[in-house]
């Protein structure tokens, strides 16, 4: 096992990794930008080292600085968290070239899944059901129009190198295709430096269901059920739960086995998430994320496993510590993402936290790097915490969420907390009847004002 792990991230996820390290008796090294010198992850890790100025590109994304930080501190492995360098295959290659261990899958698996066309082709070959669409990239508008005709509108034009909901445009008919195609392409070029796009049938009322998988690269692979992340704004998740309110045990076992078999056959090592759209009882693969997800705690809650601990063990060459038969679902868990954003427009709202009180009690987990007096820097993602609850069933989890939100105090900045108070008043949230468009429609209809 490693003696010392460097965490190439910040905020709540860096704390999450520090916590796993401490329980395993592993020393942790925090890296930070000059803007984060007083951040909680720096305070909580065993050691810390400054790796550059405030902008992410000069610090948390600076590969030479991170490698140098490992050399200076003697860390043997790097946990990338999510975002930043977590799915950067060049980084993984460089880490390995320096005889360090990347806590995550191989560079080859990351690049395979980072290119969405290759990912879809691979999954199709492994028997995973995919959204119908173009065979590979679509070179020009004429080809796009042919595909629109073949599959029928609406269709969605998506960036091959996509991520974070960027480079995606829907065309509802042939007239809209030229603009959708050009916009998706130029967005893709600007965001990813790669303007290749592909086209999929646009599903109109799907849910977003993702399967958590884990492989150890030694022939063992399991699934840890699904998370329903359908409540999204601009393709960004805000509320996640496990198990999915609409997924039956039979469906879970069926799609779970397909996913576990696929990662087993790939020889995949580490945590991964296979994302699907789910409509009328059918699953359609959209992408695989080769890292820990923001919403992993809901899965940890219902299965009683520590996914970060497992990532570290697998990276150290140990086999999975559980089998599929060991994994039994216990209750229901919900996570809400707390962002430093001003409603109703969700505009980023960094600033100084003048008072902070985290909720507690049975079944409540608060993953956050906030503290009293903390000054949230304006340079990074607006996620400031995740409130995660666990109950014996969905109803209890919702009641607990309501109770915990009532205890939470974050003063000095505006946050998305009022959004969740409002959502908990809605019947559809209680019955679990929502799809990926529900939240935006509700916001457009003035849901926040009621």
Binding positions for ligand ADP, rule: CB under 6 A: 131, 156, 162-165, 168, 200, 202-203, 206, 208, 232, 235, 275, 277, 286-287, 436
Hey, what are 377's tokens? 């820097």
Closer residue to ligand ADP (CB): 31 or 168: 168
Is 291 in the active site?
Answer: yes
Closer residue to ligand ADP (CB): 66 or 171: 171
> Minimal CA–CA distance to 153: which of 130, 180, 129?
180
- Alpha carbon separation from 18 to 11, 46, 139, 178 (Å, rounded): 11, 8, 46, 49
Hey, what are 7's tokens? 């965490």
Q: Shortest gap between Cβ of 201 and ligand ADP (angstroms)?
A: 6
CA 321/CA 303 separation, integer angstroms: 13
Q: Shortest gap between Cβ of 206 and ligand ADP (angstroms)?
A: 6
Question: Would you list the DSSP string of 154-207?
Answer: -EEEEEEEEETTEEEEEESSHHHHHHHHHHHHHHHHHHHS---EEEEEPPSS-E
Closer residue to ligand ADP (CB): 36 or 287: 287
Other beta carbons less than 10 A from residue 254's beta carbon: 12
Closer residue to ligand ADP (CB): 201 or 365: 201
Report long-range pairs for 248-255 (Cβ below 8 Å, ≥24 apart): 251/281, 252/225, 252/226, 255/211, 255/226, 255/283
Q: Residue 263: how many CA atoms within 13 Å on its side-chain side?
A: 32
Q: Shortest gap between Cβ of 424 and ligand ADP (angstroms)?
A: 22
> Minimal CA–CA distance to 192: which of 141, 116, 126, 91?
116
Q: Shortest gap between Cβ of 276 and ligand ADP (angstroms)?
A: 9
Q: Shortest gap between Cβ of 250 and ligand ADP (angstroms)?
A: 24
Closer residue to ligand ADP (CB): 220 or 232: 232
* Active-site choice (16, 291, 309, 394): 291
Annotated catalytic sites, by residue? 291
């Amino acid at each position: 096992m490693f003696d010392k792990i460097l965490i190439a991230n910040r905020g709540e996820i860096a704390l999450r990794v520090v916590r796993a390290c401490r329980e395993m008796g592993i020393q942790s090294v925090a890296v930070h930008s000059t803007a984060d010198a007083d951040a909680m992850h720096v305070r909580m890790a065993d050691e810390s080292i400054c790796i550059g100025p405030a902008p992410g590109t000069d610090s948390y994304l600076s590969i030479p600085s991170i490698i140098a930080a490992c050399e200076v501190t003697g860390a043997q492995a790097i946990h990338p968290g999510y975002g930043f360098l977590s799915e950067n295959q060049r980084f993984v290659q460089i880490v390995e070239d320096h005889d360090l261990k990347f806590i995550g899958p191989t560079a080859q698996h990351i690049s395979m899944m980072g290119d969405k066309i290759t990912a879809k082709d691979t999954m199709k070959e492994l028997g995973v059901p995919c959204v119908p669409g173009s065979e590979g990239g679509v070179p020009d508008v004429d080809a796009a129009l042919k595909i629109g005709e073949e599959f029928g509108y609406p269709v969605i034009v998506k960036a091959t190198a996509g991520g974070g909901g960027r480079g995606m445009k829907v065309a509802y008919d042939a007239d809209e295709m030229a603009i959708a195609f050009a916009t998706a392409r130029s967005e893709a070029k600007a965001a990813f430096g790669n303007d290749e796009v592909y086209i999929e049938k646009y599903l109109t009322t799907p849910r977003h269901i993702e399967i958590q998988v884990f492989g150890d690269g030694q022939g063992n692979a399991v699934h840890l059920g699904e998370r329903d992340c359908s409540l999204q704004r601009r393709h960004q998740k805000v509320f996640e739960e496990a198990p999915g309110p609409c997924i039956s045990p039979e469906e879970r076992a069926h799609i779970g086995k397909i996913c576990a078999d696929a990662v087993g056959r790939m020889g995949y090592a580490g945590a991964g998430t296979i994302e699907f759209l789910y409509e009328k009882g059918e699953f359609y693969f959209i992408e695989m994320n080769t890292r820990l997800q923001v919403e992993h705690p809901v899965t940890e809650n219902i299965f009683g496993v520590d996914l970060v601990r497992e990532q570290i063990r697998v990276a150290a060459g140990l086999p999975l510590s559980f089998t599929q038969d060991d994994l039994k679902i216990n209750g229901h868990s919900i996570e809400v993402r707390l962002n430093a954003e001003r409603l109703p427009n969700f505009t980023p709202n960094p600033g100084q936290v003048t008072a902070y009180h985290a909720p507690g009690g049975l079944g409540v987990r608060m993953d956050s790097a906030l503290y009293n007096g903390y000054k949230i820097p304006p340079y990074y993602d607006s996620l400031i915490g995740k409130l995660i609850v666990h109950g014996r069933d969905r109803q209890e989890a919702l009641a607990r969420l309501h109770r915990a939100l009532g205890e939470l105090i974050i003063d000095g900045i505006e946050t998305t907390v009022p959004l969740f108070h409002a959502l908990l008043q809605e019947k559809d949230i209680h019955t679990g009847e929502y799809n990926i468009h529900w939240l935006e429609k509700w916001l457009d209809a003035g849901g926040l004002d009621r």
